[in-house]
Amino acid sequence: MATYTGNAKNNTFTGTQASDTFFGKGGDDTLNGKGGVDTAIFRGSFEQYQIKHAADQAHLKVGVTGPDGNDHLTNIELLKFDNGTYDVTNHHFTPNPPPPPPEVKKIALTFDDGPDPTWTPQVLKVLQDHGVKATFFELGENIEANPDLAKAVVAGGNLLENHTFDHPHLPNLTAAQITTEIQRTSDDIFKFTGTTPEYVRPPYGEVNQKVENSIESMHLKTALWTVDTNDWQVDDGVKITEQQIVNTVLNNATDNGIVLMHDAGGDRHLTVAALDNIIDGLHAQGYELVTLDQIPTLPHWDLFA
Ligand SMILES: [Zn+2]
């Protein structure tokens, strides 16, 4: 226990141990308590104490000097010693408002059509270098052809999800065929990686009521995207650049967004090259890059528009 006495206004008291006593003299004093139950006696008038304390479980007894010249603890005898202001005149403690929680925006990168022996390892490498995880919507036929890559996707902490077996136009199939496309792929994912997919991304984003019913009947969720990088358009001879892919993501990123890219199905060197700047740019915008299951609510897609 130590005693600190202010001699003028605007004193700063820093306690060094539990159960310190502070005698203020007036004006705005600052108490930096260290723990336990500290006592502050206000001997001036119209005093305000800025109360700071780092430790939990710390309390402050507040007193004033009465007309008899003696120090008396106020009726607020045990005050949670928390950051705030004590107004001795009105015996009122005002805690500082809690700091607003930092805004954490989330966005999910997704890669479709793999695994591919050329491009998937390169995508995984960039993700790993940045300590970022993504979601891969893969084809059953490619998983069967590259089971070690499917394992590598999962081993990297990424999600491996269902993009059908061989990328058909699902609305053109019968319900039974749709179920086969999806089930075989889910079975492959489980067989080779031990994980069970939760989402289906219908190829081309093509969904009708029949497709949706099939997906729901298998207790899976339909997952489309909010940002299409159009990285696949190079396969159609469209001249797009790495920078365009980067800009598309960074200009259209939203909280809980889902970015569509591809790690297979064509020459994906632009996608791989863009990924570095996409990740850095999203981080700079305050986004946390998460897997799809970390997006709290999937956007509402007008599936049958
Ligand atoms: Zn696809």
CA 113 / ligand 1 centre spacing (Å): 5
| Polymer length of the chain | 305
CA 265 / ligand 1 centre spacing (Å): 8
Query: How high is the pLDDT of residue 155?
Result: 98
More confident residue, 66 or 125: 125
Residue 193 confidence class, pLDDT cut points 50, 70, 90: very high
Q: Are 48 and 68 spatial neighbours (Cβ–Cβ below 8 Å)?
A: no
Q: Write out pLDDT tens, residues 107-130.
A: 999 999 999 999 999 999 999 999
- State yes or no: pLDDT of 94 exceeds 80: no
Residue 298 confidence class, pLDDT cut points 50, 70, 90: confident
- State yes or no: pLDDT of 28 exceeds 60: yes
Residue type for 35, please? G
Closest CA to 264 of 154, 143, 134, 178: 143
Bridge partner list, 85: 50, 94
pLDDT averaged over the chain?
A: 85
- Average confidence (pLDDT) over 163-189: 98
CA 190 / ligand 1 centre spacing (Å): 20
Kindly write down the DSSP assignment for every residue of 168-209, as one continuous string: --GGGS-HHHHHHHHHHHHHHHHHHHS----EE--GGG---H
CA 231 / ligand 1 centre spacing (Å): 12
Residue type for 12, please? T
User: What is the pTM (predicted TM-score) of this model?
Assistant: 0.70
CA 284 / ligand 1 centre spacing (Å): 29
- State yes or no: pLDDT of 44 exceeds 70: no
Phi then psi for 241, rounded to 5 degrees? Answer: -115, 165
The residues annotated as belonging to the active site are: 112, 262
Structure-token pair, residue 123 = 């995508």
More confident residue, 235 or 145: 145
CA 224 / ligand 1 centre spacing (Å): 11
CA 203 / ligand 1 centre spacing (Å): 5
Kindly write down the DSSP assignment for every residue of 255-297, as one continuous string: TTEEEEEESSSS--HHHHHHHHHHHHHHHHTTEEEE-GGGSSS
Residue 2 confidence class, pLDDT cut points 50, 70, 90: low
- State yes or no: pLDDT of 216 exceeds 90: yes
Q: Are 183 and 217 spatial neighbours (Cβ–Cβ below 8 Å)?
A: no
Residue 76 confidence class, pLDDT cut points 50, 70, 90: very low
Please identify every residue whose CB atom is under 5 Å from ligand 1, which is an ion. Answer: 112-113, 203
Residue 160 confidence class, pLDDT cut points 50, 70, 90: very high
CA 251 / ligand 1 centre spacing (Å): 23
Q: Are 79 and 62 spatial neighbours (Cβ–Cβ below 8 Å)?
A: yes
More confident residue, 176 or 22: 176
- State yes or no: pLDDT of 294 exceeds 80: yes
- State yes or no: pLDDT of 79 exceeds 60: no
What does the longest C-alpha to C-alpha distance in the chain come to? 94
- Average confidence (pLDDT) over 134-141: 98
- State yes or no: pLDDT of 25 exceeds 80: no
- Average confidence (pLDDT) over 75-88: 57
CA 234 / ligand 1 centre spacing (Å): 14
CA 211 / ligand 1 centre spacing (Å): 16
Residue 77 confidence class, pLDDT cut points 50, 70, 90: very low
Q: Residue 66, Cβ neighbours under 10 Å: how many? A: 9
CA 168 / ligand 1 centre spacing (Å): 9
Kindly write down the DSSP assignment for every residue of the chain, as one continuous string: --EEE--SSS-EEE--SSS-EEEE-SSEEEEEE-SSEEEEEE-SSS-EEEEEE-SSS-EEEEEEE-TTSSEEE-S--SEE--SEEEETTTTEEEEPPPPPPPP-EEEEEEEES---TTHHHHHHHHHHHHT---EEEE-HHHHHH-HHHHHHHHHTT-EEEE--SS---GGGS-HHHHHHHHHHHHHHHHHHHS----EE--GGG---HHHHHHHHHTT-EE---SEE--GGGGGGT----HHHHHHHHHHH--TTEEEEEESSSS--HHHHHHHHHHHHHHHHTTEEEE-GGGSSS-----TT-
More confident residue, 2 or 119: 119
- State yes or no: pLDDT of 156 exceeds 70: yes
**What is the Cα–Cα distance from 136 to 45, expressed in whole angstroms?**
67
Closest CA to 199 of 184, 219, 180, 169: 219
- State yes or no: pLDDT of 54 exceeds 70: no
